[in-house]
Amino acid sequence: MKMKLFAAAVAALAAGGAYAQSSVTLYGVADVGLEYVSKANAAGDDLFRMSSGNQSGSRWGLRGVEDLGGGLKGVFVLESGFDLDDGRSSQGGRLFGRQAYVGLQSNFGSLLLGRQQTAFYDFGLIYDPMAISSRYGILAQDAAFASRADNTVKYIGKFGGLTASAFYSFNNNGQEVAGAFRRGQEYGAMLNYAAGPFSVGAAYDEVHGTTTGTAAAPVDASGQRIRRATVGANYAFGPAKVYAGYRWAKAADGAALPGQVATAANPLGINGTSNLYWLGLGYQLTPAFSLSGAAYYQDFRKTDADPWQFVVTADYALSKRTDVYTSLSYALNDNGSLLGVNGFNTVQAGKDQFGAVVGLRHKF
Q: Look up residue 320 and give its DSSP letter.
A: S
Residue 1 predicted with pLDDT over 60: no
**Per-residue pLDDT tens for 259-272?**
999 988 898 899 99
Q: Measured between alpha carbons, how far is 298 from 335 in angstroms, rounded to an integer? A: 13
For residues 334-356, average pLDDT:
95
The Cβ-side half-sphere exposure at 70, using a 13 Å CA radius, reads 3
For residues 50-74, average pLDDT:
97
Q: Measured between alpha carbons, how far is 255 from 222 in angstroms, rounded to an integer? A: 10
Sequential DSSP letters for 271-283:
S-EEEEEEEEEEE
The Cβ-side half-sphere exposure at 160, using a 13 Å CA radius, reads 3
- Length of the chain as a residue count: 364
Query: What's the confidence (pLDDT) of residue 193?
Result: 99
The residue extents of the domains of the chain are: 23-211+221-363
pLDDT confidence band for 288 (50 / 70 / 90): very high
Residue 220 predicted with pLDDT over 80: no
Q: Give percent of the chain above pLDDT 90.
A: 84
Query: What's the confidence (pLDDT) of residue 48?
Result: 98
Query: What's the confidence (pLDDT) of residue 213?
Result: 60
Residue 192 predicted with pLDDT over 60: yes
For residues 112-137, average pLDDT:
96
Do residues 295 and 279 lie in contact, with contact meaning Cβ atoms separated by under 8 Å?
yes
Residue 11 predicted with pLDDT over 60: no
Residue 126 predicted with pLDDT over 80: yes
Q: What is the CATH number of domain 23-211+221-363?
A: 2.40.160.10
pLDDT confidence band for 182 (50 / 70 / 90): confident
Residue 167 predicted with pLDDT over 70: yes
Query: What's the confidence (pLDDT) of residue 6?
Result: 42
pLDDT confidence band for 216 (50 / 70 / 90): low
Which of 158, 167, 228, 245 minimizes the C-alpha distance to 193?
158
Q: Is 299 helix (H, G, I), strand (E, B) or coil?
A: strand
Query: What's the confidence (pLDDT) of residue 15?
Result: 45
* Candidate from 50-54, 206-210, 274-278 with smallest mean pLDDT: 206-210
Query: What's the confidence (pLDDT) of residue 14?
Result: 44
Number of H helices, E strands in the chain: 3, 21
Query: What's the confidence (pLDDT) of residue 174?
Result: 86
Residue 74 predicted with pLDDT over 90: yes
